[in-house]
Amino acid sequence: MNSDVSTPLEFQGNSFHLFASGALYWPAERLLCVSDLHLGKSTRYAKSGGASLPPYEVQETLSRMEEAIEATQPDTVVCLGDSFDAVDSQDDILESDYLRLTAMMAGRSWIWIEGNHDPGPVGLGGQHLKSVNVRGITFRHIAETTDTPEISGHYHPKARIRTRARGLSFRALLVDQKRIIMPAFGTYTGGLWSDHQVFSALMEDRAQAYLLRQPPLKIPMPR
């Protein structure tokens, strides 16, 4: 991950950088934010008799996390909930992957926001919080219909555009004057299209979508 694949993003008078991976960096606070890692999803599917998924999603997601941390050197990392795909998913993570994760956590503040799939990996270090407020912006898992500026995840937004030849779809970050809804960072994650009624209710008329390509591309949020 290089700085040339990031796109500047302004929110609440603050400058951020969005990377094609879905990581959001706040330089003034030296804060890196990711959402919905869903580590252990392939193992949970296998245990439940669901679709057989290649068992490399944890390693791939952690590799992109390492790239984001190497590129930004943050003092603080905020994981916006559903970091593990289920409460017991952390028990299935390989020791080598735990070591990679704890190495990333070393020497910096690491905040696990409680998600709806997990309460945060309580067996790991860092802070485990329902939400955290940084300079007037609340970081939480699920958006709330309040006037408090917020950055949230949960919905895994994606957007589609049409070219002359075909339609294209991308994971997307959604933003308006009050809120940012982050894309899922994890490898095996579905999502909601930006024209879903959930986003119609949450996002203002002039909301924008940042499509996760290299570099991320800003467009009016497709409705």
How far does CA 130 lie from the centroid of its chain?
Answer: 16
Residue 48 has pLDDT above 60, yes or no: no
Rounded mean pLDDT of 136-151? 96
% of the chain at pLDDT higher than 70: 84
The pTM of this model reads 0.89
How far does CA 168 lie from the centroid of its chain?
Answer: 21
Whole-angstrom Cα distance, residue 19 to residue 215?
7
Whole-angstrom Cα distance, residue 72 to residue 39?
22
Give the residue with greater pLDDT, 131 vs 118.
131
Rounded mean pLDDT of 108-133? 85
Rounded mean pLDDT of 57-67? 91
Delineate the domains of the chain, giving CATH numbers in brackets: 3-220 (3.60.21)
Whole-angstrom Cα distance, residue 185 to residue 194?
17
Residue 2 — pLDDT band, cuts 50, 70, 90?
very low
How high is the pLDDT of residue 183?
97
Whether the Cβ atoms of residue 8 and residue 15 lie closer than 8 Å to each other: yes
Rounded mean pLDDT of 112-139? 86
How far does CA 65 lie from the centroid of its chain?
Answer: 11
Whole-angstrom Cα distance, residue 183 to residue 202?
15
